[in-house]
Amino acid sequence: MKTPSPRPSALLRRLRRSLLVAASCLLASVALAQAGAPATPAAPRPGAIDRAQLLDAGKFAYQREAARLQKERKFDTETSNPTYARWLAAPMVAVAAQPPYAVSDWAWQIAVEKSADLRFWYLPGGNVFVSSAFFERGRFSASEIAALLAHGYAHEVAGHDAEEAALRLAAHPDGKSPDPNRRLLVLAEILTTMGQRDPYQRVHERAADTIALDLLARAGHDPQGLVTLWKKLAVAALSANTGVVAVHPSWPERIAEIEAQLPAAMANYEKARAEQARAEQARPAPRPRPAARPTQR
């Protein structure tokens, strides 16, 4: 018995998805082809979903998930981990506000979930969830945690989630509901499912690695952290192929492909560090505090 042929609507959806993936691959290839400069990808093209709608859905999904973690007492507010993560992210957020990314209006929120599993996922608008396991003493270095955040930001500025979310929203029965709140809820659910469970395609992972190197280098974070991060996660995947390693699947040549881009990225890194040092030297020294007057009795 022959397998029934796909319906025309299914074929159209497959064709649209293939074209979107090809466009993403082309952006990464253009970035890699830049001679004598770190791989800096072209500005992300607009997604099929309205930008404001995508950001609103990402913000709503983040708030809903954060409320769930608080209710289950899994929201880390007692340690310095959230502050540390935001400190690492701050210079990359500043870079992302500049061309070619120009995403200065994002929320850039970071929530640390109390979990022993290596969990890391994110939503449009720079809204990140990362598990406390990444902050265990001696497990991951500062440059590796920065690389983790950079990789997530890279997927978002490249519009990878927007592409897939547009396809799923169009296929959802309520995707064209006249009720904007219903559409927002559906999109938030789609983004949450994608972020937590659905693996990226290899072409998207390659593009995200390229953009992550650029964000790290220009922010003054050592780009080599991306190499050591994936090496450690590859080891972690041998015992448990869940969490971040399931959503971001690797391949044998990944490390070599990143290392091939390191010379250019390191040049940008050294330049950024030199600029940071000059800015620190130019900063005026704090004025000495006047000596306290003796208390008269």
**Does residue 201 fall inside a structural domain?**
yes
- Is residue 120 packed enough to be buried (19+ CB in 10 Å), middle (13-18) or exposed (0-12)? buried
Domain that holds residue 162: 41-272
Give me the amino acid identity at 221: H
Q: Which of 95-104, 112-121, 158-167 has the weakest average pLDDT?
A: 158-167
**pLDDT at residue number 294:** 53
Asked whether the predicted pLDDT for residue 21 surpasses 70, the reply is no
**pLDDT at residue number 295:** 54
281 confidence band (pLDDT: 50, 70, 90): confident
Asked whether the predicted pLDDT for residue 35 surpasses 90, the reply is no
**pLDDT at residue number 240:** 73
Rounded average pLDDT over 71-78: 95
Give me the amino acid identity at 69: L
**pLDDT at residue number 75:** 95
Taking all residues of the chain, what is their mean pLDDT, rounded to a whole number? 84
∠ Cα 202 170 21 (to 5°): 20
User: CA 53, CA 31: separation in Å to the nearest integer?
Assistant: 28
Model pLDDT for residues 144-164, shown as the tens digit of each residue = 999 999 999 999 999 998 888
Rounded average pLDDT over 122-135: 96
**Does residue 81 fall inside a structural domain?**
yes
> What pTM, to 2 d.p., does this model score?
0.80
Rounded average pLDDT over 188-197: 93
Rounded average pLDDT over 11-20: 44
- HSE at residue 229, side-chain half, CA atoms within 13 A, is 27
**pLDDT at residue number 198:** 87
Asked whether the predicted pLDDT for residue 100 surpasses 90, the reply is yes
User: CA 235, CA 131: separation in Å to the nearest integer?
Assistant: 18
Model pLDDT for residues 225-235, shown as the tens digit of each residue = 999 999 999 99
Rounded average pLDDT over 258-274: 97
Asked whether the predicted pLDDT for residue 36 surpasses 70, the reply is no
User: CA 96, CA 286: separation in Å to the nearest integer?
Assistant: 30
Q: How many domains does the chain have?
A: 1
Using the CB atoms, write b or e for 215-251: b if 16+ within 10 Å.
Answer: bbbbbbbbbbbbbbbbeebeebbeeeeebbbbbbeee
Q: Across the chain, how many H-helices and E-strands are there?
A: 10, 3
**Does residue 24 fall inside a structural domain?**
no
**Is the model more confident about 21 or about 166?**
166
User: CA 241, CA 239: separation in Å to the nearest integer?
Assistant: 7
Q: Tell me the sheet residues that pair with 284.
A: none
**pLDDT at residue number 296:** 52
Single out the residue of 202, 278, 188, 168 nearest to residue 25, CA to CA.
202
Residue with tokens 């770190």: 38
**Does residue 6 fall inside a structural domain?**
no
**Does residue 159 fall inside a structural domain?**
yes
Rounded average pLDDT over 259-286: 91
**Does residue 123 fall inside a structural domain?**
yes
**Does residue 3 fall inside a structural domain?**
no
| Whether the Cβ atoms of residue 131 and residue 115 lie closer than 8 Å to each other | yes
**pLDDT at residue number 103:** 93
User: CA 127, CA 121: separation in Å to the nearest integer?
Assistant: 9
**Does residue 218 fall inside a structural domain?**
yes
